[in-house]
Each structure stands twice: as structure tokens, then as C-alpha cells.
Chains A and B, each alone.
Chain A
């Protein structure tokens, strides 16, 4: 019952503190896993699952899971690409405005496509795509560059070296070009939704300034082919 001495206790009872304080950290314990919101994955009956999926399910049952963020929902209307695009369009944290602009853009696309649909002759009616989500995805895919350029300094001179891009980077570049194009190259009177819908429809048909920008980038990469061996990764 003697009082324990401080020297002997300290290393035993002190919680583990990392040597360096973390810069990139989150409020969740690192063992937490991202949630899976898609309803259809949960509606598959047990027999149809493969061995791997059964093992994954068992593992998931033991691991804690993070809370679903407020932008994500299991409804048909929430799309991860559209949320990402809305966030990139957002200024000063005004999500309400960004979401309403996005909604107006999709509505404008639908209206334009419906106009074309009703004016077209019978045989071309099936070729016209009316779903604005499909148009958005296809337009983004058409805008994505395949190779990018990266500046590498060798012996004092900086060279632009062609470099393969990751999927995330391609999507980011496509969305960024779309947004900057719509913000800068428009008339003072046209509103963002209208300009955006115009650009998206042009990108869907592989025309327009963004597709041109992508081709220019590809040509530059082809021109700098000689420096491709500078890349070490």
C-alpha cells in the first residue's frame, strides 16, 4: 500500500504519443473504413456472393465504419462525379448556390436535347441522348487528356516531359478546364448554367474549346517525345 514512485510508473502508464505531431490527420481513428452507400450491393442474396465477397463481408462486420458525409446519399439522384464538380464550382463555401447552378445546368441540357428530339425526323430520334447525367459523364470522358506534361529541371534548363496521368488527375483536369472555360470565355450577359450546358453539349459531340485544349496538350506531348526518357517514375 506504499505510494508508488513516479520514476517507475511513468513509462508504464503514459499513453503513446507520436514523436512528431501529425499534420495530415483526421478525427477518426485510422482503423475506421469508408462507408458503402450503394443500395444494390446490399440487396444481393447470400448465395450469389463469391468467396472473396463473403470474406470481405466477414471482415467488414468486425471493423468500425465512418459516418456517411452529408453530400452522399443512396438516392438515384446523388452522383459522386456531380458532387465533385459542384464542389469545384463552389466559391467561398456557398454550396447552395453551386448546387442550384448545377441543377439549372442539367435542366438546360435536358431542355435543349428535348427540343432537338422533337424537331428531329423519326429515324434520328433514337440517336439523340436525353439523359443529362449520361451527357455529363460522356462529355467529361471526352475531355480527359491521356498524357500530361511535367516540368523537370536538368542541368539548369527546365524541360516539359510527357508523363502518363493517373485517373484522378485526368478527371480533375477535365473538370478544371470546363469550369475555367465557362468562367472566362463568356459574354457578360450569359449566365453560368447556360454557358456550361453549351460547353457540355459541345464536349459530348467532341467539338468545342475544351476538346481543342486537350488536343493541343496531346500535340505538345507528342512534340516533346524526345525528352520522355527524363522521366524516372
Chain B
């Protein structure tokens, strides 16, 4: 028989933080996955669709329809996703029944990071040995040019996800420097495969925007439209071909609408850059903002409209000249305890 020993409430309270983040057992995760698949089929039946071909997008649409939520934060709304996306991946227990750890670097604390550095450095040494062999046999070293522009290194967060371990900034930088050193040596094919594990493709060009084809109006003249914004000013511009270079804003000629030379210079900037100053007619409408903001908005709108008239290379040149980017600078808000956005109140010693 057991006897109740007197305990205080303080001792009985569990120390929640000591055990670390909640660990999910494998059985638990498997059960979650089964429940998710069953739930998916139920949902498909409810929506009247085929349970076999019910994709994740369909699930999202169904949940948004059945549980409408007005919350701003998308992560706070009801969601139904595969458990591998919801529960973070965790390390399984790293030591056996006798308490002895499996990995030889367990006691460093960051075992996967150090083992990765170890592997990379071994590869570096092997490449150097290979190079020395080649120079000993008097063969020329292989020189291959790798395309630097299309790839980028893993970010720190991606590396952390790969290793399932927290890294510090210095650790991450050391690893990247080691990879760069490995890459600069004339390496063979084996190293390329290893390095590719740590690179990601960057979309080849930032011309992800689709350029619209030219439209033709009743007289047979080609035209195209563009929209631009700058700091609260919104503008739409239609650029016509076979023109004399006149620009009309809200029905008024630019000489009367923009009395300042700087604004007119900005309006003509895209045309002057492409060398088509007297060839196009422009009709714009603009609202909101101030004098300079409206000029900037019309500049962006006419640059976007001109893309349809011009070759792809020239579009890329316009982008590199900064004509096609929306200027994100807006007025900074005033903070409490300060007089303006940056200006503080006069400092009084007493």
C-alpha cells in the first residue's frame, strides 16, 4: 500500500520550461498524417468533389469557404495542411539505451554543423591533392567558368532548416567562406555536385513582368498604356506612335501644368533615354500627391507604356537606369515622444 507524503503546492507544480520545446513522438506524427488524409477525403465528399484528385489548393479554398475569417494575419486563420508543414522537424534522440551518443561530434553541441565543416574541408584537401598531382605530372590545371549570375548561396535560415540546428552568424559566414574557397579552385565534377547542394537558383532575369503587345486604335495608330505611382500620386499614360512629341496632362499642356523645369525634365527622361523625343504623343491623367510626385508617377507610367514599343534589350537598359521601379519612399511617420519623424524635442539638462 502507498502512503501519501505531505508535499507543498510549489513542489507539485511542473517546471514547464525545463523540458525544452514540445517533442513529438513518431507515433503521434503518424497518427496526425492518417487523420489528415481521412479528413481530406471527408472534406472532398462534403464539397462534392473526387476524393482521389483533391489537391492542397482545393483544400485551402474549401476551408476558406467553410470557415470565413476576417483576421488580417493569414497565419491566424483556420488552416488545414499536411502535418509535416505544421509541426517543425525535430531531431530524434541522439543517444542509445546505454546513454552513449551515436555521432562522434555530439559533445561539441552543434554536431551537424561541425560534421559539415569537416566534410567540406576534407573535400578541399582532396582537391588540393589532386591539383598537386597534376602539377607534379606537368599537366595544365582544368579551368572551368561557372555561371555566377544564376545561383546564390543558401541563406542562414535555409541552412538552419537543413541542419536542424541553430547557427550563429559567424558560423554561417565561415561555412560560406569555405565554400567560396572550394569554388575558386579549379575543381572536378565531384565537388560541383557537392556544392550544388548548397546553392539555389536565382530566376535568370528580373523581367518577370510580361510586356503587353501594342494595341491599335480606330485611325490605325499604335498605342499602349502604362500606370505609375509615386508617394500617393497615381498616373495613367497612353503613348501614341507617329506623334510630334506633345505631352498632355489632365487636358492641359505640360508647359502650363508643370511650370518647373525639373518636372518637365523628368517627363521627358524615358523618351530622351531611348532617343525617341519627338516621335511619340502622350496623353496622361494624374491625381493625388504633390508637384514632384505627380511628375515621378507620370515618368513611371510613360516608361511602362514605352516597353511595348521597344526591344527586350532596351527594356533591360531602362530597368538598369531605374526607370521601371516603383519608388517605395514615402513620408516617414511621426513618433510619439519626438517632434517629427527624426527630430527630437529640445534636450534640456534640467
Residues of A within 8 A of B (CB): 1-2, 4-5, 7-9, 11-13, 16, 26-28, 35-37, 39, 42, 55, 58-68, 70-71, 73-75, 77-78, 95-96, 99, 103
Contacts and interface: CB of A to CB of B under 8 A. Distances in A.
Given A7-B21, A62-B202, A63-B206, A71 B262 contact: yes
Interface string B256-298: 0000111001101100110000000000000000001001100
Interface in B303-337: 316-317, 319-323, 325-330
Given A61-B205, A75-B265, 11 more contacts: A11-B88, A26-B329, A27-B328, A28-B328, A39-B273, A59-B149, A62-B206, A65-B325, A67-B326, A70-B266, A71-B262
Contacts of B46: none
Nearest to B316: A61
B148 interface: yes
A12 to B, nearest CB: 4
A42 B272 CA distance: 13
Chain A interface secondary structure, helix, strand, loop or mixed?
A: loop
Contacts of A42: 317, 320-321
A65 B322 contact: yes
A68 B206 contact: no
A8 B23 CA distance: 8
A12 B329 contact: no
A68 B212 CA distance: 23
B11 interface: no
B261 A99 contact: yes
Given A1-B32, A61-B206, A73 B149 contact: no
For B75, B262, B296, the residue with the greatest tally of chain A CB atoms inside 10 Å of its CB is: B262
Contact of A62 (B39, B149, B323): B149
Contacts of B340: none
A9 to B, nearest CB: 7
Interface in B34-92: 35-36, 39, 75, 80, 86-88
Which 7 A-B pairs rank lowest in CB-CB distance, beginning with the nearest?
A: A35-B322, A68-B322, A58-B149, A67-B327, A67-B325, A27-B328, A42-B317
A27 B321 contact: no
A89 to B, nearest CB: 15
B39 A37 contact: no
Given A9-B88, A65-B319, A73 B205 contact: no
Contacts of A2: 32, 35
Contacts of A59: 148-149
B150 interface: yes
Contacts of B210: none
Given A27-B330, A61-B206, A65-B319, A8 B269 contact: no
Contacts of B39: 1
A37 B88 contact: no
Given A35-B321, A39-B273, A64-B325, A5 B149 contact: no
Contacts of A65: 319-320, 322, 325
B269 A74 contact: yes
A64 B266 CA distance: 22
B157 interface: yes
Nearest to B291: A96
Q: Which interface residue of B35, B75, B202, B325 has the most chain A CB atoms within 10 A?
A: B325
Given A67-B326, A74-B269, A1 B35 contact: yes
Given A1-B36, A8-B87, A70-B292, A95 B320 contact: no
B297 to A, nearest CB: 11
Contact of B321 (A8, A11, A68): A68
